[in-house]
A and B are shown apart, each in its own frame.
Chain A
Amino acid sequence: MYFLRKAYRDIRRNFLVNSVSTIIIVFSLLIFSIFLVVSVNLNRLLVNWKGKIQVICYVKNDLSPNELQNMKRRIRELGEVRSINYVSKSDAMLLFKRFFHNQDGIVEGLDKDILPASFEIHLKEKSHGGWRIDEFVKKLSQFEGVADIQYGREWITRLSTIVHLLRWGQLIVGGILFLAISFIISNTIKLSIYSRKEEIEIMKLVGATNGFIKIPFLVEGFFQGVFGATLSLGLLYLLYQSFLWRSGPFVRASLGPIDFSFLPWSSIGGILLVGISLGLAGSYLSLARFLKA
């Protein structure tokens, strides 16, 4: 209790220095958490895009309903299928008309049986890689009754490469950012402790033990970390809400329907933990130099 009171007194005494270091912690962590929010939502966007990957299997005209049912069952048995949907000739025409509803000239006079029936197949996420889809399509093409298969191979390969690059990029940029903010925060705390070098010297001269000197500084470091992380998360939330309000509709219109998300609780806890750990470690390491003698 004494050390808490002392830390509170010291924070008030050194209000300016403590405020400056807390502000630096806030902005360093804010930069890192902005990166995390962007990463989280980028991943959601990629999952969303990947969910749209589908294989369209056109079937021959002369298949009976029984044969179609049989074929659907066999496709499911391939094991990679998340969902499968049969689109009959008339359904295909209906979709076609809906798509071109403003251009009557195109639709007019078309025979309702002109479009082929098909199975729309969505694969499980683990099967989204280019070569896995290739394998699936190869197995599918050996089925009797298959007229043609379309699956936008190039687009899938490109998307897989983008996902791969982005995941690595996130790791590298995230790692560098984390190192940078650790460096900035620990040095900020170091500077704030250096500014109180004389006080530490006097404490040593009058017979303070290392523990007595360290504990209030560690308590201060802890609170700087907690305040810094909490304020940065608060600011991040405000920025996130204002982004949703101002740019959300525009982004959705450009990139497709995406459910934006704030940081998950685990990341919020992680940022608090990072703030506290850096506050404590910064204080501890800086003090270690003074207290060697």
Chain B
Amino acid sequence: MRAPMDSSKMIQFFHVSKVYPGTIHALTDVTLEVNEGEFVFLTGPSGAGKTTLLKLIFCDERPTRGDILVNGMNVCRMRASQIPYLRRNIGIVFQDFKLLKDLSVFQNVAFALEVTGIRGKEMKRRTWKTLRMVGLLDKMDETPLKLSGGEQQRVAIARALVNNPPILLADEPTGNLDPEVTLDIINLMNNFNASGTTIVVATHNTDLVRKYRKRVIQLLRGRTVDQTHSERSMVHPEATASSS
């Protein structure tokens, strides 16, 4: 059956399952959608399938069954040579920042533009602009190791968003940060969301989720158990027990 396309939906999963070799069921029959410009928390305990779900969106993994539409494109039918072009439309942020330690903050951010063929003055202009938005313009010549964890994550966010992608995926972006910095980072993402970027944040931090009035997609053992607004979200008792 062909997946229906809806232009207001940025991400759509239709009965998606992912089985890793050794019959490990990471996701089972997941159907969900994320609207354009929405900010969604993806929660669940470790091993619930959050990372796999994000990886399926940016084609780091392929589903065993089901269809996935991202920005109107069926990523399941995408050829390997098309994946880089999909990823230019998706900013990705990780818990461990994934910055190149020997490059400066500026070079780390500009790197994402370079690979898309944007160089010279345009590259500098866009990099400066994004660094100003994340509040790191004064540290652009520093190397990541001289920055705090929160600042490193800001660099990672700047790199993810310098191409103006319509989607930002964040996998436990605050996992290594203290509570105050965590709020800073989520607020920063909120700002980008306000200017139209669709954001999906995977986290097992239920306290953080409760603080924001955002939709929550809750995963448990590879299945969606709840997709409601955070203030109405009843955190599954098993999820709370496992994530604490």
A residues neighboring B (CB under 8 Å) = 2, 13, 198-199, 201-210, 212, 293
Contact = CB atoms under 8 A, between A and B. Distances in A.
B98 A203 contact: no
Nearest to B91: A206
B87 A202 contact: no
A205 B115 CA distance: 10
B6 interface: no
Contact of B92 (A198, A199, A203, A205): A205
Interface of B: 58, 60, 80-81, 84-88, 92, 98, 100, 102-103, 111-112, 115-116, 119, 159, 163
Given A2-B119, A212-B115, A202 B100 contact: yes
A201 B80 CA distance: 15
A198 B108 CA distance: 13
Nearest to B103: A13
Contact of B100 (A198, A208, A210, A212): A198
Contacts of A205: 58, 87, 92, 98
Query: Which of B81, B100, B103, B163 has the largest count of A CB atoms less than 10 A from its CB?
Result: B100
28 contacts: A2-B119, A198-B98, A199-B100, A201-B98, A202-B98, A202-B100, A202-B111, A203-B115, A205-B58, A205-B87, A205-B98, A206-B87, A206-B88, A206-B159, A207-B86, A207-B87, A207-B112, A207-B116, A207-B163, A208-B84, A209-B81, A209-B84, A209-B115, A210-B81, A210-B84, A212-B115, A293-B60, A293-B80
Contacts, number: 45
Contacts of B115: 203, 206-209, 212
Given A202-B111, A212-B115, A207 B84 contact: yes
Contacts of A203: 111, 115
A13 B108 CA distance: 14
Contacts of B111: 202-203, 206
A203 B111 CA distance: 8
Given A2-B119, A293-B60, A204 B84 contact: yes
Contacts of B60: 293
A195 to B, nearest CB: 12
Given A207-B85, A207-B116, 4 more contacts: A207-B84, A209-B84, A210-B81, A210-B84
Contacts of B112: 206-207
Nearest to A202: B98
B88 A207 contact: yes
A164 B60 CA distance: 59
A205 B103 CA distance: 17
A204 B103 CA distance: 17
A255 to B, nearest CB: 55
Contact of B87 (A13, A199, A204, A210): A204
Contacts of B88: 206-207
A204 B100 CA distance: 13
A132 B85 CA distance: 73
Contacts of B81: 209-210
Contacts of A207: 84-88, 112, 115-116, 163
A217 to B, nearest CB: 14
Contacts of A210: 81, 84
- 3 nearest interchain CB pairs? A207-B88, A208-B115, A207-B87
Nearest to A292: B80
Nearest to B115: A208
Contacts of A198: 98, 100
Nearest to B93: A205
Query: Which of A201, A202, A203, A205 has the largest count of B CB atoms less than 10 A from its CB?
Result: A205
Query: Which of B98, B103, B163 has the largest count of A CB atoms less than 10 A from its CB?
Result: B98
